Amino acid sequence: MTNSIRPLDGITVVSLEHAVAAPFCTRQLADLGARVIKVERPGSGDFARGYDTRVRGQSSHFTWINRSKESLALDLKQPEALDALMELLGQADVLVQNLAPGAAARMGLSYEALRAAHPRLIVCDISGYGADGPYRDKKAYDLLIQSEAGFLSVTGSPDEPAKAGISVADIAAGMYAYSSILSALLLRGKTGEGSHIDVSMLEAMAEWMGYPLYYAYDGAEPPPRAGAAHASIYPYGPFAAGDGGAVMLGLQNEREWQAFCAQVLQMPQLADDPRFASNALRNQHREELKAQILEVFSQLSAAQVIERLDGAAIANARMNDMAELWAHPQLAARARWRDVGTPAGDVPALLPPGVSSAFEPRMDAVPAVGQHTRAILAGLGWDEARIAALVR
């Protein structure tokens, strides 16, 4: 039974954010009920608004990670605008920023500068490389961090590295910022004091690279680039069917290998072939095994392959494109879609992962640039003449 109370109701987040990492963090805080005030440049706003025009003339990135926020347009080079921001921080619980290295500190927005006046404020800085060290001032974009963190060295084909098809380094940093802010709010509930959170995109990605790091421990060979296949487990990856479709499958143990040979390939004798007697040997002889699998699958449609895999309790998946994900029957069956407003009209949006029995996530509109400026300043006690002067 859901109720109208959300976990972060009453929490105010002010965010000097752009691109992906910080907006992804703060949108999730908004999902849980936080009031998120997004500070943007007057006129153009967050530059991610201009990445593309795929969603009713609006950016796909921006639509995805900026719902349920209020947009406050401020030119922070103007003293009056900076005064407004400082007043707002007096009412805030959290400040999030992912400006260029050192930019927030130069405006007096470091944790050290704010702590005395705002002892309960939680300040979360998101950067490419962190607040200190030799790379502190180095610019960082998602692809550059994917490269710096070794992700490209293990992703792609044997002949060519490939980046992830999504902003995985930004998303990793945004997730750690989100969870760190939640933990800081819990800690403040015990101590009564705010804290500083320093989130590095490099460190977030390095954490996610833990498996290949340990695989290459103490100078060992790193995992090879294996395309969509698994680098060290076989068969595990995409296989073509006779109708031109492809099926993704994965084996995890010897029991599944026996079932795969007997029920899927219908070649039980293959399970006893000494070339394939263990995962290490199957991995060593993957080309010979791949030929055997493709010979069988070439006589079947993708649907028939999946039917055999399901019958043998072998993990599998379809290789869906975006149209098929939009229409995915599991998402529809679990009622995961809602409509949210945008400046150009309603669009469908996925509920955030994690179905709670206690509350419904907040799913409010994506704001226009500066849509809430006058209301926010009026809430600070500014009169109309002062607001109009700042807007001018």
Residue with tokens 């974009």: 141
Catalytic residue among 230, 285, 328, 372: 230
Q: Residue 390 above 70 pLDDT?
A: yes
What is the arithmetic mean of pLDDT over 77-87? 96
Q: Say which DSSP state 115 is in.
A: H
Using a pLDDT cut of 70, give the percent of the chain over it.
Answer: 99
Assigned token pair, 24: 């992804």
Given a contact cutoff of 8 angstroms between Cβ atoms, the answer to whether 219 and 205 are in contact is no
Q: Give the model's confidence band at 186: pLDDT under 50 very low, under 70 low, under 90 confident, else very high.
A: very high
Q: Give the model's confidence band at 2: pLDDT under 50 very low, under 70 low, under 90 confident, else very high.
A: low
Assigned token pair, 271: 């399970």
Question: In whole angstroms, how far apart are CA 293 and each of 297, 320, 390?
Answer: 6, 21, 69
Question: In whole angstroms, how far apart are CA 390 and each of 15, 191, 215?
Answer: 20, 38, 57
Using a pLDDT cut of 90, give the percent of the chain over it.
Answer: 95
Q: Residue 317 above 50 pLDDT?
A: yes
What is the arithmetic mean of pLDDT over 170-196? 98
Check if 12-208+335-391 and 236-319 are the same fold.
Answer: no
What is the arithmetic mean of pLDDT over 368-388? 96
Q: Measure the CA–CA gap between 268 and 158, rounded to whole angstroms.
A: 32
Q: Give the model's confidence band at 228: pLDDT under 50 very low, under 70 low, under 90 confident, else very high.
A: confident
What's the pLDDT score for residue 231? 85
Active site residue 230: yes
Angle between helices 384-391 and 79-89 (to 10 degrees): 120
Q: By three-state DSSP, how is residue 239 classified?
A: strand
What is the arithmetic mean of pLDDT over 242-258? 95
Q: Which CATH code for domain 236-319?
A: 3.30.1540.10
What is the arithmetic mean of pLDDT over 364-371? 98
Bridge partners, 12 (sequence order): 35
What's the pLDDT score for residue 3? 67
CB burial of residue 142 (10 Å; 0-12, 13-18, 19+): buried
pLDDT tens-digit profile of 91-127? 999 999 999 999 999 999 999 999 999 999 999 999 9
pTM more than 0.85: yes
Q: Residue 389 above 80 pLDDT?
A: yes
- Ordered by start, the domain boundaries in the chain are 12-208+335-391, 236-319
pLDDT tens-digit profile of 17-49? 999 999 999 999 999 999 999 999 999 999 999
What's the pLDDT score for residue 1? 47
What is the arithmetic mean of pLDDT over 353-377? 97
Q: Which CATH code for domain 12-208+335-391?
A: 3.40.50.10540
